[in-house]
């Protein structure tokens, strides 16, 4: 296991958002030196000679039941696909951090929004989600047809596992059947489709889209024929919104950095009239646009002003100065013609009458961040999407309560509660969440001082340990989220915090190449260091305990597999001493029982995590291509077959089966999402 490939055979670039990648490049450079290779060969030879010698330390208690062993092993033996499959049950979080106009209410009572590559249709009353899974990378925009059934969603360009480009495009689909009706613009769009809208006054026959290329091309399509009707360079600057006028079928309004443009389509030509600010303050950004009942355009901008642009013209007819402190990220005209505006810096949601006089206001709690999007609900209900990836529900006569919550930055830390339907996550947003899988909401969240990287429950479930990116690790009370203990080992990433099955030890694995062993007393409340595992020549990536809590196995960034005596931290070099050990978990991505999870030509960083079901029948893996794989366990045949599931849009960082194997949880990197899969 000392050999390191210098070139990725798959041709797919390493995930740029993964901290491990930077460290790995330096390791690869070191690893390929002649000196290192000769050392590796010598170690392998030593290992072979050690394997043949007998060891008196192997005890009968740790020997596997001989009847469970195969009579022989053949590389050609065919492994069956697992009988059980995964079905996406729940998507945690909402993409509010960098997208807009992406929250709507459907006549079915479902709110529709997106996260990662999944479009979510969430019935809040019935606590049910449905999912449109047609996209293969990040969804960036969403529009509802006037028929309130047909939906259009646009996605970014991506790269497939074999290095092929995934083209950005718009998918038009049916929100009742979830069937894809049309795919538009594959091969036409450049980087990503960031704005999409249906026409309103001609039966919704047209669709407009804005490409995130340098020229921000605005294109108009007959979506039912999948035919482009017109296109034009929209702006050198970013374009944040593009919508059809509700009464004039051939008028499109776009807005963005320092501009609002009114486009008239005649034949296959789009003609621009710039919005004139004249004596009024010209904002840095026009952030959003909506339309009054009489056809006036209404804009909200980065200076906190609301401008009304008279129907048919390109001049300002009315101004609401300083409507918000800071930017206005969203405007929503309600069915009764009144206007709701959502503020950035001030986090306020304001209601304006027909003459743009303020009637009412509510504030989004600070924890959920600025307003990103607004949607009218039933009666006086309002849905608010925020930049901290939450969706809240409320009304002007009451308050706002969260119905969707999620992380706001990359997350790697995941563990499941040993005896309940709960799991814990931590991420680079410095948040730790304890989630309930039935309510799909956090039981609590806690802000910590450093970005989180790893997390692990004590076997009793009463406390949990959190490892950070700075060498600090802490212990929290599971019920109260109070800080129980805090320690620092080195100043690098703590990649694993894992309690022994008997709860007597905690192993803390670090990117400083060491594993620190602590004895744990008082049911997880007292910690004292008893050992330090020294011997890895690269950062430690994964760790498992033996079922008897006496031994540890570790993987590292240069693909070593090392074994340790837990009580002393002593490196075990005799293969006989460990060959028949039973392991309590299987999270190491390197090892005989899991080597079949690696596809042909894989780079050693392509698989981020693996876990074994508690009944020992299944293995799940998380890869760098947005996929979750489900294998039969053990997985000791080359390139074993697997069920493959999409949903994440960047590297999948972690996977874990709930304590009774009813569900699998997976976490995303840059997409910040948590997906809950049911095992069927």
pLDDT in tens, 272-290: 999 999 999 999 999 999 9
pLDDT of the residue at 53: 32
pLDDT of the residue at 78: 87
Is 77 within a domain?
A: no
Taking 80 as the threshold, does the pLDDT of residue 12 lie above it?
Answer: no
Taking 50 as the threshold, does the pLDDT of residue 478 lie above it?
Answer: yes
Its domain, for residue 455, covers 408-679
The CATH number for 483's domain is 2.130.10.10
Q: How confident is residue 259, by pLDDT bands cut at 50, 70 and 90?
A: very high
Taking 90 as the threshold, does the pLDDT of residue 219 lie above it?
Answer: yes
Q: How confident is residue 69, by pLDDT bands cut at 50, 70 and 90?
A: low
Output the furthest CA–CA distance in the chain (Å, rounded).
91
**Contact (CB, 8 A) for 212 and 194:** yes
pLDDT of the residue at 77: 87
**Contact (CB, 8 A) for 325 and 346:** yes
pLDDT of the residue at 571: 98
What's the half-sphere exposure (Cβ side, CA atoms, 13 Å) at 38?
A: 3
Burial of 178 (0-12, 13-18, 19+ CB in 10 A): middle
pLDDT of the residue at 161: 74
Task: Report how far residue 172's alpha carbon sits from residue 134's, in angstroms, rounded to the nearest whole number.
Answer: 10
Cis (ω within 30 of 0) for the bond into 657?
Answer: no
pLDDT of the residue at 55: 35
Task: Report how far residue 375's alpha carbon sits from residue 103's, in angstroms, rounded to the nearest whole number.
Answer: 6
Is 24 within a domain?
A: no
Summarize the confidence of residues 518-526 as an average pLDDT. 97
Is 499 within a domain?
A: yes
Percent over 90 (pLDDT), the chain: 87
**Contact (CB, 8 A) for 72 and 628:** no
Is 170 within a domain?
A: no
Is 392 within a domain?
A: no
Q: Which of 302, 198, 296 is nearest to 256 (CA)?
A: 302
Is 391 within a domain?
A: no
Taking 70 as the threshold, does the pLDDT of residue 26 lie above it?
Answer: no
pLDDT of the residue at 73: 87
Report for 19-23, 44-48, 66-70, 650-654: range of highest mean pLDDT: 650-654
pLDDT of the residue at 32: 38
Contacts of 201 (CB under 8 A, 6+ apart): 244, 245, 246, 247, 248, 249
From residue 225, alpha-carbon distances to 184, 207, 208, 268, 436 in Å are: 9, 11, 14, 15, 45
Burial of 125 (0-12, 13-18, 19+ CB in 10 A): exposed
535 versus 601: the higher-pLDDT residue is 535
- What is the 8-class DSSP label of residue 313? -
**Contact (CB, 8 A) for 340 and 348:** no
3-state secondary structure of 49: helix
pLDDT of the residue at 60: 37
**How many distinct structural domains can be found in the chain?**
1
Is 144 within a domain?
A: no
Structural tokens at position 545 = 């305990």
pLDDT of the residue at 295: 97
pLDDT of the residue at 163: 75
CB count within 10 Å of CB 477 equals 14
Average pLDDT, the chain: 91
Summarize the confidence of residues 70-76 as an average pLDDT. 81
Summarize the confidence of residues 158-182 as an average pLDDT. 92
Region of 322 (left: φ > 0; alpha: ψ -120 to 50; beta: rest) is left
Summarize the confidence of residues 338-352 as an average pLDDT. 98
What pTM did the predictor assign? 0.89
Summarize the confidence of residues 50-62 as an average pLDDT. 37
Structural tokens at position 463 = 């406390």
Taking 90 as the threshold, does the pLDDT of residue 318 lie above it?
Answer: yes
Is 38 within a domain?
A: no
State how beta strands 515-521 and 607-612 pair: unpaired
């Amino acid at each position: 296991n000392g050999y390191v490939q210098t070139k990725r055979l798959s041709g797919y670039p390493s995930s740029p958002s993964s901290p491990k990648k930077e460290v790995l490049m330096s390791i690869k450079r070191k690893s390929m030196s002649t000196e290192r290779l000769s050392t590796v060969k010598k170690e392998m030879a030593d290992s072979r000679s050690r394997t043949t010698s007998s060891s008196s330390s192997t005890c009968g208690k740790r020997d596997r039941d001989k009847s469970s062993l195969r009579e022989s092993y053949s590389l050609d033996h065919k492994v069956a696909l697992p009988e059980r499959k995964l079905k996406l049950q729940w998507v945690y979080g909402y993409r509010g951090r960098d997208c807009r106009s992406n929250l709507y209410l459907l006549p079915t009572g479902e709110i529709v929004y997106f996260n990662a590559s999944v479009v979510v249709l969430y019935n809040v009353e019935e606590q049910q989600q449905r999912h449109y899974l047609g996209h293969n990378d990040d969804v960036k925009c969403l529009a509802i047809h006037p028929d309130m059934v047909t939906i259009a969603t646009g996605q970014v360009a991506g790269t497939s596992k074999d290095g092929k480009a995934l083209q950005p495009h718009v998918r038009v689909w049916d929100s009742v059947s979830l069937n894809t009706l049309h795919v538009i613009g594959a091969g036409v769009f450049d980087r990503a489709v960031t704005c999409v809208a249906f026409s309103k006054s001609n039966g919704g026959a047209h669709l407009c889209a804005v490409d995130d290329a340098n020229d921000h091309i605005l294109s108009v399509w007959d979506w039912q024929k999948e035919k482009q009707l017109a296109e034009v360079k929209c702006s050198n600057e970013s374009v944040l919104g593009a919508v059809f006028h509700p009464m004039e079928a051939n008028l499109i309004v776009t807005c963005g950095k320092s501009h609002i443009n009114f486009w008239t389509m005649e034949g296959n030509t789009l003609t621009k009239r710039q919005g004139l600010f004249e004596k009024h303050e010209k904002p840095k950004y026009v952030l959003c646009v909506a339309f009054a009942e009489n056809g006036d355009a209404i804009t909200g901008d980065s200076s906190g002003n609301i401008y009304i642009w008279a129907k048919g013209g390109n001049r300002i007819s009315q101004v609401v100065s300083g409507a918000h402190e800071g930017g206005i990220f969203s405007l929503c005209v309600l069915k009764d013609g009144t206007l709701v505006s959502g503020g950035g810096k001030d986090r306020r949601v304001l209601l304006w009458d027909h003459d743009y006089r303020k009637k009412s206001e509510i504030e989004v709690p600070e924890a959920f961040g600025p307003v990103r999007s607004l949607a009218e609900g039933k009666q006086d209900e309002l849905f608010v999407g925020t930049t901290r990836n939450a969706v809240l529900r409320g009304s002007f006569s009451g308050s706002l309560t969260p119905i969707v919550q999620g992380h706001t930055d990359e997350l790697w830390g995941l563990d499941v509660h040993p005896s309940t339907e709960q799991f814990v996550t931590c991420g680079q947003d410095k948040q730790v969440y304890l989630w309930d899988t039935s309510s799909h909401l956090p039981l609590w969240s806690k802000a910590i001082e450093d970005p989180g990287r790893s997390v692990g429950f004590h076997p009793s479930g009463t406390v949990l340990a959190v490892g950070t990116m700075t060498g600090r690790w802490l212990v929290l009370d599971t019920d109260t989220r109070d800080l129980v203990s805090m320690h620092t080992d080195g100043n690098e990433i703590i990649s694993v915090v894992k309690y022994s099955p008997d709860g007597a030890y905690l192993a803390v694995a670090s990117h400083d190449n060491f594993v620190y062993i602590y004895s744990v007393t008082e049911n997880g409340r007292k910690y004292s260091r008893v050992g330090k595992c020294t011997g890895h020549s690269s950062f430690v990536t994964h760790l498992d305990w033996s079922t008897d809590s006496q031994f540890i196995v570790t993987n590292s960034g240069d693909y070593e597999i090392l074994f340790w005596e837990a009580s002393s931290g002593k490196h075990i070099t005799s293969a006989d001493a460990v060959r028949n050990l039973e392991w309590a978990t299987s999270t190491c991505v390197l090892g005989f029982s899991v080597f079949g999870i690696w596809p042909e030509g894989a780079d050693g960083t392509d698989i981020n995590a693996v876990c074994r079901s508690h009944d020992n029948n299944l293995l799940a893996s998380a890869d760098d291509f947005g996929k979750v794989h489900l294998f039969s366990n053990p997985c000791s045949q080359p390139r074993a077959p697997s069920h493959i599931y999409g949903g994440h849009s960047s590297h999948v960082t972690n996977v874990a089966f709930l304590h009774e194997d009813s569900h699998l949880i997976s976490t995303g990197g840059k997409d910040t999402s948590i997906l809950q899969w049911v095992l069927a």
